[in-house]
Structure 1
Amino acid sequence: MIRKSDKKLKDRTKEDKIAKNEGFDEFFNQVLKNMPARSAKIIKSSFVVSKAKAEQFLANNSQKFDQLFEEFLVGVDSQTRRKCHETIHFATLTAAIVGFSPIPFSDAVLLVPIQLTMMMRLYKIFGASWSEALAKGVTKELVVVGLGRSLVGNVLKFVPAVGTIAGGAINATVATTITEALGWVTVKMLNDGEDIFNNVLTFEGQFKGLVSKLQKTTKKK
C-alpha cells in the first residue's frame, strides 16, 4: 500500500520534472529563434536523437565540476542558486544538442544565441541591467570567436581517448565546456558585483582561468 506521504513526494517529483522540461523547452525554442534558419531546421529535425545523446553525454560528465562551481555561489540564496544551476544546465544541454546535430561545417558562432540567452537570464536573476546589443558584440567577438576557437585545441587535450571519440562527442565537449565556463564566470562576476561588459579584461582572464581549472580537475579524475 502506498502511503500518502510517498504519493505526495512522487507527485511533487513528477511536477518538478515537468516544470524543468517545460523550462528547457522554452529556453531551447528561444535559442532556435535566434539561430540561422538553415541550422535551426537541421537541429529541429535531429532533435530527438541529438537530445538523447546530449543527455547521456552530460550524465557521464555532470558531476565532475560541481564542487568547483559551488565557490562561485558563496553568499547566494538557495532560490538564486537553483535558478543559476538550471539556467546554465539548459544552456549546456542546448550546446551539447548543437554539438551532436549533423550540421555540416558547424561553427562556434552557433553557440552565440545559446550564450546570449544564458547570460541574459543570469543577469535578470541577479537583477543586473542587460544590453543585448552590447552583449552580442562582446560575446561574438570575445567569447566565441576569440576565446572559443583558441581554446578548442586546449579543451581537446583533456578529452580522454580523443582519437577514438566520434566527431559529435568532440564537438559536444568543446561546446559544453566553453558554454558552462562562460555561464559560471558570468555568475561569479555578477555575484561579486562586477559587470562583464565594463570589465572585459577581467572577464577574459577569469574565463581562461576557469578553463585551466577544468583541465586540471579533469586530469585528476
Structure 2
Amino acid sequence: MSKSKVNMPKELKRKCNIIIHSATGASAVAGLIPIPMSDAIPITAAQIGMIIKIGDLFDISLSEAAAKSIAGVALTQQAGRSVASGLLKMIPGVGTLIGGIISGSTAAALTEFLGWVVADDFFRMSQGEDPENIVEVASELKGSFQDVRFKKE
C-alpha cells in the first residue's frame, strides 16, 4: 500500500513504518491459519495494538475501546474476505492453501492501509489539523481492492 500522504518528518515516518510493518507481518501470518474463520481474533489484535502504538508515537492517548472502534472500519471490509477464504479453507488440501494465501495477503494489505491512514490522521491531529473523513477513506480502501483482478493462465 502507499506510504504517508502527509509531509511527515523522515524519522517519524520511519518509526511508523516499523510499527505498521510489524502489525502487517503478524496479520499476514494470522491469515495463513488453516482453520476456517480462526484468523479474525489475531488479526484484530495486531491491528488494535498497531493503532495504540501509533497513538503513543504521536502522544495521542487511546483507550482499547477507541482503538477497537478505529479497527472496526477495517474489520467491516475484512468480513467478506473472511467468509470467502474461510469457505476455501474448508476444502482439504488445495482449498486450505489457496484460502490461506488469500486470507494472509488480504489481511496484510488491509492492516498496512489502516496503519498509514491512522498514522496520517494522528500526524494531522498532532499538527492541529482535522483528520480525514472516514467515509472517504473506506471508499478508497474499497476501490483499492476492486482494482485487483485474478488472471486466468
One-letter code aligned to 2:79: R
What does residue 82 of structure 1 align with?
A: 14
Q: Sequence identity of aligned pairs in percent?
A: 28
| Inter-partner Cα distance in structure 1 for 2:109 and 2:138 | 11
Q: CA deviation at 1:123?
A: 0.8
Query: For this pair of structures, how many residues does the alignment match?
Result: 135
Structure 2 residue 60 is the aligned partner of structure 1 residue 128: yes
Match of 1:176 among 108, 113, 127: 108
Q: CA deviation at 1:141?
A: 4.1
Higher helix share: 1
| Inter-partner Cα distance in structure 1 for 2:139 and 2:63 | 24
| Inter-partner Cα distance in structure 1 for 2:67 and 2:101 | 29
Q: Contact conserved, 2:24 with 2:108, CA < 8 A, in 1?
A: yes
| Inter-partner Cα distance in structure 1 for 2:77 and 2:145 | 15
Q: Contact conserved, 2:24 with 2:111, CA < 8 A, in 1?
A: yes
One-letter code aligned to 2:138: F
Change (3 A) 1:166 1:214: closer
Change (3 A) 1:213 1:101: closer
TM-score, length-scaled by structure 1: 0.51
What does residue 147 of structure 1 align with?
A: 77
Change (3 A) 1:168 1:215: same
* 1:136-215 matched pairs, under 5 angstroms: 136=68, 138-139=69-70, 141-144=72-75, 146-150=76-80, 152=81, 166-193=98-125, 202-213=133-144, 215=146
Q: Contact conserved, 1:99 with 1:175, CA < 8 A, in 2?
A: yes
* 1:62-101 matched pairs, under 5 angstroms: 65=1, 68-70=2-4, 72-74=5-7, 76-101=8-33
Q: Contact conserved, 1:181 with 1:207, CA < 8 A, in 2?
A: no
Cα shift readout 1:178-207 (whole Å, capped 9, x = no counterpart): 11111111012112228xxx97x9224313
Q: CA deviation at 1:174?
A: 1.6
**Is the partner of 1:91 in helix, strand or coil?**
helix
Change (3 A) 1:205 1:181: same
TM-score, length-scaled by structure 2: 0.71
| Inter-partner Cα distance in structure 2 for 1:133 and 1:140 | 10
Q: Structure 2 regions of 5+ residues with no counterpart?
A: 86-94
| Inter-partner Cα distance in structure 2 for 1:121 and 1:206 | 21
Match of 2:34 among 96, 102, 108: 102
Change (3 A) 1:143 1:109: farther
| Inter-partner Cα distance in structure 1 for 2:6 and 2:16 | 9
